Chains A and B, each alone.
Chain A
Amino acid sequence: MSKMTGAQAVLECLKREGVDVVFGLPGGVLLPLYDAIYQSDIRHILVRHEQGAAHMADGYARATGKVGVCIATSGPGATNLVTGIANAYMDSVPMVAITGQVNTWLIGKDAFQEADITGITLPITKHNYLLRSATDITRVFREAFYIASTGRPGPVLIDLPRDVTVDEVEFSWPEVELSGYHPSVKPHEMQIKKAARALMDSSRPVIYVGGGVRYAGAHRELFELATKINAPVTTTLMGIGCFPEDHPLSLGMLGMHGTKYANYAIQESDLIVAIGARFDDRVTGKISSFAPRAKIVHIDVDPAEVGKNVRVDIPVVGDAKNALHGLLKEVSPKARSEWNEKTETWKKDYPLRYIPDMNVIKPQFVIEKLCEIAPDAIITTEVGQNQMWAAQFFVHKDPSKFISSGGLGTMGYGFPAAIGAKMGRPECDVIDVAGDGSFLMNSQELATAVVNDIPVKVAVLNNGCLGMVRQWQELFFEKRYSATILGRTSPDFVKLAEAYGAVGLRATKPSEVEPVIRAALATDRPVVMDFIVSPAEKVSPMVPAGATLSEILELEWCDVAQSCHLEKIYAEGRKEVLGQEEF
């Protein structure tokens, strides 16, 4: 084939891997690469901060199932990607991050904008590469996309020294040969038989579903299995949408802010079938008393997850889709049982709830309205109370339509992730459920949304505080609100949106919520909706850290006094600041 520069070879690789959009920000060492991007038909979305690029690639990947690609320059550009890469790693998101690097002969000399990004990202990537020769480009890019998207997906970083992108190279397209990488996707037949037997013998089974089912695209098989044997299904935050939440067998989410009925069911069950989930501490509560009477079947594509956190009776190493296919063949239909009656009674007795208010907007009410008006929208979230309410009060039915930072818990994730998701699926409404704290962490990407005409919607649940931490301070630190009070005026989100050329809308009364949402969805521009919500609202129910799942608490609802108290603090804080200015 013809000779080309390293940079052109990179673009050719991206094209051949089916990449249609990349998210990035250029820099000195990336000039040759960006020159090649200029001449290529791959769409480049210019971000305003590299962290945004990583989260956009992540959101794009989760919404489409394809590999997301982000690009940053050497040094600070690369280190700005770190949070986004760690986020993708914790949630097993297929991503390729391309970073610029100084010329090979300058590496190790503390050159301008040099950072050892392969060293820095060693523990937060599935694999990474520092390219030293243009002849390695095609092999490395093929391997990177293969590694990122197969087995348990994850981010792969490629560090690209400037001279490597300038050198000329003969383009070739070699097959991937990795002697140290063989994802074990096909489960052992014997283990499937054992798991099926356990399911048949169980009288109180619970299927516990995580992100693995979503990445394997196995939600239909899951539905078939659960309904065939009438087994209740609970999902983790990452597994949300893998099973339709309006189905009688759905127990919703489990764990710290899961439903009471999911947690009760886990604790009472005699068999837990975990599929693509990893028994995270937010899910299990106190690990020694997790599901005390249950046998555990653990199906996971990553053998290292099996037996990592809990003892497993029947390990099944393999892809969720293959495993579910196998199980479906082995099990015979089971009729409804007392166990179904019991879980359904729990659902009736302990529903997720909040006290509606005529005068003050409850954040849960906003989520319910979003769900009512835009049931098919892709919902992304920030992290904290907004995230938990979005998980609890939106009725999720599609795994690719709930996009949230689970493992790392990255505030500032939701908005750029929404932009990425909208790029991947422009036909869907995409709504970022945000808090007034987390939205500001990447609000500069409003410029990206406006300039590139990506009409995402942001619903800020503005409660004037860092709500989740404030909630913990209220419950466990005698209401000493250390560094969690943001107040009511920081900043004016409507004006902020308008300053960027986006639309800003505000609702201060419950009656304004629906019109604001409808107006936001009716426009084809990016919109920030500022919902002034009750400040003292807490996420409930809650399993306190270190407690057993059955010790789940319903938190007090009537928080009018607490709300007034907080509003007073907000007002006083403002006075204090102004007073000091005068002084």
Chain B
Amino acid sequence: MKHTIAVIVENKSGVLTRIAGLFSRRSFNIDSLSVGATDNPDYSRMTITVHGDRDVLEQVIKQLSKLINVIRVSELGASESVERELAIIKVSADKDSRSEIMQIVNIFRAKIIDVSHRSMIIEVTGDEEKVDAIVQLLRQFGIKEMARTGKVSMVRGARVVKA
């Protein structure tokens, strides 16, 4: 089972190491991790996807909460949250394939952010499945390079996860 958790941490050097170290030491499996600033520059927000049963998730949350630099840990249930990933993908594209690629880009409401004679860079955002799907479709043209962020996620409605 996959679980998504939001972790609010102090924006200090070494905090990422503490979290990554905790995961490896306790044999927790991270599927994805993304870090970025919050509206308050003193704190960063991490979105971590882990897999395991409820007991593992409970341990992950409790062990993270023990770290002094961790301010708050909150599980984000899949059904009650919105989640997004971003990927930029460089595909082979010549004059024969270019229009077909553009059709796929349109269907996925993705963007073309760079074009050259032999390639294009496509930017896509969406949940994991959507990004997976466009990657799958673009494979036939030849993916030359891809960079993908981890997932970021937020609970719908009024509830907030803040320091």
B147 CB, nearest partner CB in chain A, Å: 28
Contact with A along B16-57 (1 / 0, CB 8 A): 011001100100000000000000000000000000000100
B157 an interface residue at 8 Å Cβ cutoff?
Answer: no
For chain A residues 117-140, which have a beta carbon within 8 Å of chain B? 118-119, 122-123, 126-127, 130
A506 CB, nearest partner CB in chain B, Å: 45
B6 CB, nearest partner CB in chain A, Å: 15
Number of cross-chain contacts by CB at 8 Å: 37
Residues of A within 8 A of B66 (CB): 302, 304
A122–B62 touching, CB < 8 Å: no
B70–A180 touching, CB < 8 Å: yes
Number of interface residues of A (CB under 8 A): 17
A480 an interface residue at 8 Å Cβ cutoff?
Answer: no
For chain A residues 301-331, which have a beta carbon within 8 Å of chain B? 302-304, 307-308
Q: Given contacts A118-B14, A119-B17, is CB(A180)–CB(B25) below 8 Å? A: no
B126 CB, nearest partner CB in chain A, Å: 33
Interface of B toward A, CB cutoff 8 Å: 9-10, 14, 17-18, 21-22, 25, 55, 58-59, 62-63, 65-71, 163
Most buried by A among B62, B67, B163: B62
B20 CB, nearest partner CB in chain A, Å: 10
A179 an interface residue at 8 Å Cβ cutoff?
Answer: yes
Contact of A307 among B17, B22, B58 (CB under 8 A): B58
Residues of A within 8 A of B14 (CB): 118, 130
Q: Given contacts A118-B14, A123-B21, A123-B25, is CB(A180)–CB(B69) below 8 Å? A: yes
Residues of B within 8 A of A179 (CB): 10, 71, 163
A212 CB, nearest partner CB in chain B, Å: 15
Interface of A toward B, CB cutoff 8 Å: 118-119, 122-123, 126-127, 130, 147, 178-181, 302-304, 307-308
Q: Which residue on chain B has the smallest CB distance to residue A178?
A: B68
7 A-B pairs (CB sep. < 8 Å): A123-B25, A126-B68, A179-B10, A181-B68, A304-B62, A307-B55, A307-B59
Q: Which residue on chain B has the smallest CB distance to residue A303?
A: B62
B59–A122 touching, CB < 8 Å: no
Most buried by B among A126, A180, A302: A180
Residues of B within 8 A of A180 (CB): 9-10, 67-71
Residues of A within 8 A of B21 (CB): 122-123
Most buried by B among A126, A179, A303: A179
Besides A180-B10, A302-B66, 7 other A-B contacts (C-beta < 8 A): A122-B17, A123-B22, A127-B68, A180-B68, A303-B65, A307-B55, A307-B59
Q: Given contacts A127-B68, A180-B70, is CB(A308)–CB(B17) below 8 Å? A: no
Q: Which residue on chain B has the smallest CB distance to residue A130?
A: B14
A184 CB, nearest partner CB in chain B, Å: 10
